[in-house]
Structure 1
């Protein structure tokens, strides 16, 4: 499992930002601190609330760059982004490699749905080091947004 002080696992994945572009974490460390907010699925209740709350609180993340991360397809993420009026990009981990590398994969076995992201937040500094980590085993729990903003500011 990725811990504070570890090098953040690098990844390249599609970024839904109104268009679809390739995003590589290591090539964007100049945007640090980077907040990677993993969420189980677009268009679901708590995930929609979480991404909307990040958007509403972007001013608290003054120098940080926020990215949502889920296993949804980039085209779905663009639609979700449009519907929620999100200004930050959403990373598509449709291959489920990022959730595996960050060890934040979970299943909704009772619904027959496997391999989604746990609700989790990592802050990565300009050297690629993880400086903050929050992972929930309960998909109904949202992160402490003020704590995440404080961690990004440090």
Structure 2
């Protein structure tokens, strides 16, 4: 399957590979208030799915703050950050950081999202977490952009992502 690196060390990622042009599977994740959030699929609006290992890291926090600012500019695009954090920690993070323009959701229960989108880390120090990735999905549910960030400690290509999202 896929691969990325963590501080230069190769990390295997698994699950079903999703590529540009594929239909984005609908998957339920758990929101910060324990509510179920469905991501993917046809929603009639664009979706940006921002996948991070944990909001409790410097890079993931910076990425979430950036997408929160971008989400405030475009109310016609749903932005959801998906991590393996427990909902209570996500809620605390959003409260402290002022994150209110996007959704946060956890895949901690059964890793259904990570498996369906091919972003589950299968070995190394972060085994069981998600790698860093971004998917842009059009209103019809087709993937129009995909980025598996080559190095987990790096941020994604914001300019490329936003060009597909607008």
TM-score norm. by structure 2 comes to 0.81
**What CA distance in whole angstroms lies between the structure 1 residues aligned with 2:40 and 2:161?**
21
String of CA shifts for 1:45-104, please: whole Å, max 9, x gaps.
110111011122334545211100011111111111112111111111002111111111
Pick aligned residue for 1:23 from 24, 37, 48: 37
Equivalent-residue separation in structure 1 for 2:31 and 2:120 (angstroms): 20
Question: Cα RMSD (Å) of the superposition?
Answer: 1.9
- Count of aligned pairs: 148
Task: Name stretches of at least 5 consecutive residues in structure 2 with no aligned partner.
Answer: 1-16
- 2:145 is the counterpart of 1:129: no
Paired position in structure 1 for 2:157: 144
Could you list the structure 1 runs, at least 4 aligned residues long, displaced by more than 2 angstroms after superposition.
25-28, 56-63
Equivalent position of 1:12 in the other structure: 28
Structure 1 contact 118–137 (Cα < 8 Å) conserved: no
Distance 1:77 1:33 in 2: 23
Aligned to 1:99: 114
How far apart, CA to CA, are the structure 2 residues paired with 1:107 and 1:75?
A: 25
SS in 1 for 2:150: coil
* Distance (whole Å) between structure 2 residues aligned to residue 26 and residue 102 of structure 1: 10
Deviation at 1:22, TM superposition (A): 1.1
Q: Indicate conservation of the 8 Å contact 2:25/2:41, yes or no.
A: no
User: For 1:131, what is the secondary structure of its paired residue?
Assistant: strand
State which of 45, 62, 65 in structure 1 corresponds to 2:78: 65
> If the length of structure 1 is used for normalisation, what is the TM-score?
0.86
Q: Which residue of 2 aligns with 1:119?
A: 132
The structure in which a higher percent of residues are helix is 1
